[in-house]
Amino acid sequence: MTPTLNEAELIETLMNTIRDNIYFMDRSGRIILINRGGARWLGFDSPEDAVGKTDLDIFTSEHGRAAFEDGQRIMETGIPMLGKEEKETWSGGRETWVSTSKIPMRDRTGKMAGLFGISRDITDHKVSKIRAARLAEQNRRFAQQLNDELAMAGELQKTFFPSAYPSFTGNPNEEGGPIEFSHLFRAGSMVGGIFCSIRRISDHEAGVFLCDVSGHGVRAALGAAILYALEADVAQRHEDPGRFLTVLNRKLAPIFQREETSMSCTACYVVINVDDGSIRYAHAGHQAPLHIQQQTRRVVALSGARICAGPALAQDAGSVYESISCKLDPGDSVVLFADGITRVCGKGGEMFGLSRLCSAARTYMNLPLKELFEILLDEAGRFSLSGRLDDDACLAGFHFKARSA
């Protein structure tokens, strides 16, 4: 015959074996029964030692008062408290966390007699959760600080681009003259590696310089800042484009080529004589500038671009760059561009490419350069799978109108 247990024995088995803290309180909030685990949790040697104690006797005044009032409210309203996470504060400063349920008890007549409680130690879980939340908040603040600093760096990087263009009218505040300059930059991220300069070299010459540092983000931006610091000094000393790139390369190589990091940058430098439209140029690993020919309605690479092509800057300190010359007709334009435009990817991985850039330039060649540049970048953006330019993109150049007689 299978032995049976009465209700008292079943309760005793439960109270002595379960790891959760189980207790019963009377109407006044005093413990009348508690399991061994619960007694040990409260700091008593045996369950009997805990009998008659209230929350006010066991915990610090702040937590003891809150726990006692919770019990009284439950017994007054008859509404149980289920799964409440509580922080327990003990004398001596110790803190623990429990998940507590308190359920009102009634006697056989229906009168409120006390409450039954069960709590589970969740200290390790709660401490880990709090630590994770604190770490997440620290990461959020760090990310926000980094984002703010990058935004500020992005604003500072705008100074790497021309704020005004050279004037050859005899009056620096007067618009017009034999040449129209323009540039347009669109960032793919907060900071990037493109730098553009349009400067007056002499009374009749101006230089347009465009470079694109390898990589993305902060690393490329630091490279662009180095170029910004070096370019003005080198340009003042060396007007010939080939010599300019040769000297700039020699200065950049020991900075960009280190054991722990390696960078390079493509560059193009074009110098125009505004009196007769003759130009000299050289480029380093950069795509050749576009020559928009108004009379023939053609858009082609500048004449001789392949001849003067050299490696990207900072790859070899000993590289020498050659200049080549050609001449523009009145109405012609020259456009330098970074490959963030031509390398835009569309469906099937197909790139926007040079042919599409030339085609768009040919379609809108009658527009002022400022408007033309906007359209070219918009066309590349629409071609992209994302519908926008994901990399830094820059266009810079000039429209040669010739001096008035």
- 278-284/309-310 β-pairing: parallel
- Do the domain assignments include residue 147? no
Tokens of 348: 């099937």
Q: Who's near 131: CB < 8 A, 6+ residues apart? A: none
- Do the domain assignments include residue 156? no
Please check whether residues 204 and 304 belong to one and the same domain. yes
Specify the pLDDT at position 1. Answer: 45
Rounded Cα gap, residues 35 and 116, in angstroms? 12
Contact 367, 382 (CB under 8 A): no
- Do the domain assignments include residue 17? yes
Mean pLDDT of residues grouped by 10 in the chain (405 residues)? 65 77 93 90 90 91 90 93 88 86 92 92 88 89 77 69 83 66 83 85 92 82 84 84 93 82 88 93 91 93 74 91 92 93 86 92 94 93 82 90 61
Specify the pLDDT at position 171. Answer: 56
Rounded Cα gap, residues 102 and 121, in angstroms? 15
Please report, to the nearest 10 degrees, the dihedral formed by the alpha carbons of residues 363, 364, 366, 367 taken in order.
Answer: 180
- Do the domain assignments include residue 405? no
CATH number where 42 lies: 3.30.450.20
Using left for φ > 0, alpha for ψ between -120 and 50, and beta otherwise, residue 255 falls in: alpha
Rounded Cα gap, residues 329 and 401, in angstroms? 8
Please check whether residues 256 and 322 belong to one and the same domain. yes
Specify the pLDDT at position 68. Answer: 93
Amino acid at 161: F
- Let me know the angle formed at the C-alpha of 278 by 395 and 301, rounded to the nearest 5 degrees: 45
Specify the pLDDT at position 226. Answer: 86
Alpha helix ranges (H) inside 291-396: 305-308, 353-363, 369-383
Bridge partners of residue 195, in order along the sequence? 211
**Which residue range(s) make up the domain with 16?**
7-121
Contact 101, 117 (CB under 8 A): yes
Tokens of 68: 């006692």
DSSP type of residue 251: H
Please check whether residues 194 and 341 belong to one and the same domain. yes
DSSP type of residue 19: S
Please check whether residues 239 and 385 belong to one and the same domain. yes
Bridge partners of residue 106, in order along the sequence? 112
Please check whether residues 215 and 346 belong to one and the same domain. yes
Number of domains in the chain: 2
Please check whether residues 187 and 285 belong to one and the same domain. yes
Specify the pLDDT at position 306. Answer: 66
DSSP type of residue 91: T
Please check whether residues 212 and 282 belong to one and the same domain. yes
